[in-house]
């Protein structure tokens, strides 16, 4: 299992946290995601055999948030 902390830009409220959490959580291979509004981060645990960091970044960008 790979764990990474992604800096996310553009989150302003709980709705944003939920949008990012749901988007990242829906990526096949992602096991766990914890989004912090205060730190502007998404801490993601994923199976590197099933997904890539690029795919996770893409899911965040699809929701119109920035990967910093």
Q: How far is the CA of 11 from the CAs of 2, 6, 25, 29, 67, in angstroms?
A: 24, 13, 17, 24, 11
Contact status: 38 vs Cu ion (CB under 5 A): no
Q: Is 49 in the site for Cu ion (CB under 5 A)?
A: no
Nearer to Cu ion, 17 or 55 (CB): 17
Contact letters for Cu ion, residues 7-26 (x by CB under 5 A): -----xx-xx----------
60 makes contact with Cu ion (CB under 5 A): no
């Amino acid at each position: 299992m790979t764990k990474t902390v992604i800096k996310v830009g553009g989150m302003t409220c709980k709705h944003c946290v939920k949008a990012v959490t749901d988007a990242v959580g829906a990526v096949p291979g992602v096991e766990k995601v914890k989004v912090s509004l205060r730190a502007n981060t998404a801490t993601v645990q994923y199976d590197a055999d099933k997904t890539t960091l690029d795919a996770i970044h893409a899911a965040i960008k699809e929701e119109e948030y920035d990967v910093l």
